[in-house]
Structure formats: C-alpha cells, structure tokens
Amino acid sequence: MSQSAKSRPQAESTLRIDTEETIATEWRFADGAETGWHRHALDYVVVPLGDGVLEIESADGTSRAELTNGIPYFRKAGVEHNVVNASGREFAFLEIELKR
C-alpha cells in the first residue's frame, strides 16, 4: 500500500544535459519517494538505470509500471502525473526531454 503523500520523501533530480535540443535529468528515488505532481511540457524518453516498479498517479487513478534496466519508453508532451517508487529499494532513471 502506498504511503500518504504527506509522508513521502521527494525524489532527487540532477540536471545532466541542457542544450538547444534536449534536457537530460537523472531522477533518483529512495524507496517510496515521489516526483510530486507535474505536467510534461515536452515530449520525453525515460531510460531506467535498473529494474524497478513505479506507481503512476494521474487524474484517471493509479497504475503500476514495471521497468527494465536500459529499456526506454517514450511519452508525448501533456502528461500530468505523480511518479512514486514502489520497487522496495532505491530506483533511478534518466529522463530525456526533446525540445524540438
């Protein structure tokens, strides 16, 4: 069962690249940490840096995504959600936003 939003630690982000074409941000999550609610202004690719499980909270409810080390996925701009680490251990991914 998920922790309440008030008691969740925050995921840590580290900007790795910011050019005219892309922004690459590394996200590191302690067990149970969250990104906080946000809307993606740009198309983006996520590359998991390990195997893990994320809970995705959106206006439509909560879903779970099982991620595999090195296997990326793509999403269009406009996605609004909160991402929570449900892996039972630390988890990280690289988010690459496409500016054009």
pLDDT number for residue 67: 98
Condensed to tens digits (0 to 9), the pLDDT of residues 51-70 reads 999 999 999 999 999 999 99
Condensed to tens digits (0 to 9), the pLDDT of residues 4-54 reads 456 899 999 999 999 999 999 999 999 999 999 999 999 999 999 999 999
- Give the predicted TM-score (pTM) of the model: 0.90
The answer to whether residue 1 scores a pLDDT higher than 50 is no
Look at the alpha carbons of 64, 69, 71, 75 in this order and tell me if their dihedral is positive or negative.
positive
Pick the CATH number of 5-98 from 2.40.128.720, 3.30.70.270, 2.60.120.10, 3.30.559.10: 2.60.120.10
pLDDT number for residue 97: 98
Q: What residue segments make up the domains of the chain, in order of their start?
A: 5-98
CA dist 32 and 55 (Å) reads: 9
Q: Please, which pLDDT band fits residue 100 given cuts at 50, 70 and 90?
A: confident
Q: Which residues contact 35 (CB under 8 A, 6 or more apart)?
A: 10, 11, 27, 82, 83, 84
Closest alpha carbon to 97 in 36, 38, 19, 28: 19
| 3 vs 85, residue with greater confidence | 85
Specify whether the backbone of 36 is left (phi greater than 0), alpha (psi in -120 to 50) or beta.
left
